[in-house]
Structure 1
Amino acid sequence: MKKFAYIGCLGFIAVITTEFGVIGILPQLAEHYQISIDKAGYLLSAFALIIAMTGPFMTLLTSGFDRKKLMLAAIAIFLVTGVVSSFSPPFWLLMLVRVLPAFLQPVYIATALSVAISKADKKHENQLMGIVFSGVAIAMVTTVPFATWVASMYTFEYSFIIQTIVSIIALAAIYLSLPSMPVKEKKSYGSQLKILTQPVFITSTAMNFFMITAWFSTYSYFADYLNKAKGMDGTMISYMLFLFGIVGVFANWIAGKMLSKSIPKTTAFFLSGTLIMPVLLYVSGDHLISNMICIVIWGFMYSPSFLNASTYMISSVPGSMEFANSLATSFGNLGVTLGTTLGGWMIVSKGVAYNPWIGFVFGLLAFLMMIVRTVLERREKIMLPCQQ
């Protein structure tokens, strides 16, 4: 039922607007709080680290709760974060309210995906998941660049006000449009935890981690990179975020179609962007048209990364979708944390222009994990007839 998928997508827009909305205003936050850009980056990396540390546990803990109530609770906390942040509190308090919704973010994503496919045919599941995940790209094309543009025109507090408004809209849509959805049959913890012992799932998890680390080593500092490496001002950066997001919406739609045909090939295709982009960004220099073309390619290759990562991991354990997706979210956000941390270190030590090459290294590691999984799956197919 597409209605459920679109509601999940709307909530995802609120989630992403809050999590990644700070990317465009990190330079302003660093200036306001008189801290370095890498310390301002903690607002992103700490959020992601909480998700990585608590995501699977929170998903298991809440697996028996009514799905509508879970989605409402998660978005309500995002709403509180937006309200408090808009008053420009002390940095310690801003950090605290930023990480609070991170505890329920993986729960929201896993629940929204489960709701989206709850009444769907198996052949349509990837497309419906693609609709939910398109919330990432839609946020990148609407709320995130708009919030960045408004902040560049006025002050960064307006960015948080926009995050608040988006959360209110999502909360209303979930409350008014979703029926009560109690869980009819709760899976045992043991049956879900056993996937952690499966080599194919472990290598899929490592691929996810390396891929997201690769992308976020540069993307976390998108505004700082375009400003210092490409000479763009705040207004131009907001336009580039808008362009990035427009392409991303299209990319998620394409990825959803491609995943229905071949999950490994689709994942490998978009992952190749981690190897292509450092080269393209290097040769484009400070030429505006060349950089716009690079950003189009960057947005297209990056945007389906979370959809690809989740689908790739779930495909290795199709019977444990919600728990596998929570692990995909957690390890993806662990990748956000590592990518942001390494990116901040590179900015301080060498300069932001070198950040894309971190992505190149981790992109290679992600491809290596895909190769290892392929070998393991072939070995399992060979051993299965022998065991029978």
Structure 2
Amino acid sequence: MAIAVLAVAMFMAVTTEFSVVGLLPVLARDFDISLARAGWFVTAFAVAAAVLGPLLTMAASRYAPRRVLVVAVLVFALGNAVAALTRSGTVVLAVRIVQGGLLPVLASIAIVSAARLAGHSREGWASARVNQGVVATAVLGVPLTAMVAERLGWPASFGGLAMLGLVAAGLIGTLFPRLAGDPPASSRAAVSLLARPRFLAQLALAGVLFTAMFAAYTYIAPLLSLVGTLDGVAVGWMLMLFGFAGVIGNAIAGRVARSDPVRVSAIGSGALALVMTLLPSAGGHRLALVVLVIVWGAAHTAAFVFCQVGAMVAGRDAPAFAMALNISVCNLGIALGALAGGAAADRFGTVAAGYAGAALAVVAVLVAGAIIIVRPQAALSGRELPSPD
């Protein structure tokens, strides 16, 4: 039950982050800005997570996880309420920056706490369980907020997320067990991670992979609309299909991620490269479009678990800080991906965002391949961390 409560909190927080993806056309219209400028609502959140996340997590990890989680969730709820009530794009952007800074705190402490409750060697299972909140974001959160915005306006979407945040905070305060925070000594272990080649290589892989993922995913709504000639409601259903495919991807990832996170990340990157390359040409074939969206959703969601488990394995001495750095690097990738996809779309058309994502996914495959090749040599030279098994 405690891990399920964390999944609810993650659903609220990650839906807050990614609901904007489905709302970009509406936000661009209402604030009278270009699609690329509206992409800054995604970018600002991600940059804040990348810059502020590790420091805030290191400070917060000394306190009891339940207290930190409740405070973080309440701040998310308050921010969503403000976004629902304002009509200023600048205020919405400021809210996104605050929420972005707190996302790594919430997510890293939630995932690490779940792993502590699950026990050693079950990190993949625990991460996948908490990640069900991320999956639910793709299945329900993003498509429902898009549909609500289409019918009632985007402020109603943020209002609903504010109420869900209050519910999540209450559930954590009531049902989540008391756990001790990390001892002060863990700060030294946290800083030492930055000198470990294996951990830094894992972060590099996560950053490139997430840049690839979000070069295309940030613009999935206009991309599907253009390629498939779909209206807003149809795009919502396609986003829901994407999310249901993510359920499958999350289940598979929870089982295989612990075996070799780098190798499975390479496979997932290859699948993403293939899908993003083929998608623009699938518009005239609705069945092909459906199949590609399913594969895309499964690989996209699995990548979250692959990177989470990879960070926990490589940074076992300071798992909360390792997870925060992973989330921060992933969010930096989200920001760079949004910018790269937006730049490609502005210059060459919306479909170019898909091609940009494909090219970056190929780079992620190459990075993973390099890690796999070098890894045995590092192990023999003593520079590699010992296996956690």
- TM category, shorter: over 0.9
Alignment partner, residue 321 of structure 2: 323
Indicate if the aligned counterparts of 1:204 and 1:369 stay in contact, CA closer than 8 A. no
CA shift for structure 1 position 184: 6.0
* Aligned with 2:99 (options 93, 98, 101): 101
2:197 aligned with 1:163, yes or no?
no
> Alpha carbon RMSD of aligned pairs, Å?
1.6
Alignment partner, residue 124 of structure 2: 126
Matches within 5 A, 1:293-308: 293-308=291-306
CA shift for structure 1 position 80: 0.8
Indicate if the aligned counterparts of 2:249 and 2:299 stay in contact, CA closer than 8 A. yes
SS in structure 2 at match of 1:319: coil
CA shift for structure 1 position 347: 1.4
* Aligned with 1:269 (options 267, 272, 275): 267
Alignment partner, residue 66 of structure 2: 68
CA distance in structure 2 between the aligned counterparts of 1:317 and 1:114, rounded to whole angstroms = 12
CA shift for structure 1 position 54: 1.1
* Aligned with 2:331 (options 324, 330, 333): 333
Alignment partner, residue 55 of structure 1: 53
* Aligned with 2:114 (options 116, 121, 126): 116
Q: TM-score, normalised by structure 1?
A: 0.94
Q: TM-score, normalised by structure 2?
A: 0.94
* Closer, same or farther: CA 317–182 of 1 in aligned 2, 3 Å: closer
Unaligned runs of 5+ in 1: none
- Deviation digits for residues 2-48 of structure 1 (CA, Å, limit 9, x no counterpart): x2221211110011111001111111111111111111111111000
SS in structure 2 at match of 1:122: coil
Matches within 5 A, 1:100-249: 100-183=98-181, 185-249=183-247
Alignment-mate amino acid for residue 166 of structure 1: L
CA distance in structure 1 between the aligned counterparts of 2:375 and 2:294, rounded to whole angstroms = 35
- Deviation digits for residues 247-296 of structure 1 (CA, Å, limit 9, x no counterpart): 11221011101123333332222222222112321331333222111111
CA distance in structure 1 between the aligned counterparts of 2:145 and 2:182, rounded to whole angstroms = 41
* Aligned with 2:28 (options 19, 25, 30): 30
Indicate if the aligned counterparts of 1:24 and 1:144 stay in contact, CA closer than 8 A. yes
SS in structure 2 at match of 1:318: coil
CA shift for structure 1 position 246: 1.0
CA distance in structure 2 between the aligned counterparts of 1:26 and 1:151, rounded to whole angstroms = 11
SS in structure 1 at match of 2:85: coil
* Aligned with 1:372 (options 359, 370, 373): 370
- Deviation digits for residues 224-255 of structure 1 (CA, Å, limit 9, x no counterpart): 11122331110001101111111112210111
CA distance in structure 1 between the aligned counterparts of 2:80 and 2:290, rounded to whole angstroms = 31
CA distance in structure 1 between the aligned counterparts of 2:59 and 2:15, rounded to whole angstroms = 26
CA shift for structure 1 position 313: 2.5
Indicate if the aligned counterparts of 2:258 and 2:309 stay in contact, CA closer than 8 A. no
Identity %: 25
Of residues 295-304 and 325-334 in structure 1, the stretch that sits farther from structure 2 once superposed is: 295-304
Q: Which 4+ stretches in 1 moved above 4 angstroms?
A: none
Alignment-mate amino acid for residue 123 of structure 1: S
Indicate if the aligned counterparts of 1:231 and 1:286 stay in contact, CA closer than 8 A. no
CA distance in structure 2 between the aligned counterparts of 1:264 and 1:101, rounded to whole angstroms = 30
Indicate if the aligned counterparts of 2:262 and 2:310 stay in contact, CA closer than 8 A. yes
SS in structure 2 at match of 1:304: helix
